[in-house]
Amino acid sequence: MQADAFYLWIKALHVIAVIAWMAGMFYLPRLFVYHAASPIGSPQSETFKVMEAKLMRIIMMPAATLTWLMGAAMLTLNPALLGEPWLMVKLAFVIGLTAMHVVMVGWRKAFAEDRNRHSEKFYRMMNEVPTLALMVIVVMVIVRPF
């Protein structure tokens, strides 16, 4: 396989992983909104615990890992990108998304242990953070404004 074709396969896997990761980043806070409104110990609360755990374990963690691995592979194959200012902005926002992912792991654990301390409104606001980050990332990658 030619180097260009290999790079494109890596890039395709990266985009697929990003889409899956972002789906989870959009959906998990929405589950938290509804979970926060459910009484502790209720059937709804217990169902949300299962949904949140499976979303994190089966979709979000593998997708986030693959996103980072494929991104690193692309940079290894094309290190000149590291000199691009748009990429530095993109990476800063990807690091921010990763930090939010880690925070969501903690929120999910708190729900699993019936010790959530945040309101529905809080999770509604947090639900917007990944969208805003994604908008910046896509503009950086597609438009490359600088």
- State pLDDT tens for residues 122-143: 999 999 999 999 999 999 999 9
Asked whether residue 2 carries a pLDDT value surpassing 90, the answer given is no
Gap between the Cα atoms of 44 and 35, Å rounded: 8
pTM to 2 decimals?
0.94
Taking a C-beta distance cutoff of 8 angstroms, is the pair 94, 71 a contact?
A: yes
Given this model, what pLDDT does residue 98 score? 98
Asked whether residue 3 carries a pLDDT value surpassing 90, the answer given is no
Max CA separation in the chain (angstroms): 57
pLDDT in tens, 53-85: 999 999 999 999 999 999 999 999 999 999 999
Phi-psi region of 3 (alpha: psi -120 to 50; beta: other; left: phi over 0): alpha
Gap between the Cα atoms of 60 and 66, Å rounded: 10
Given this model, what pLDDT does residue 97 score? 98
Taking a C-beta distance cutoff of 8 angstroms, is the pair 93, 23 a contact?
A: no
CB neighbours (10 Å) of residue 43? 9
Question: Per-residue confidence at 6, pLDDT binned at 50, 70, 90?
Answer: very high
Mean of the per-residue pLDDT values of the chain? 97
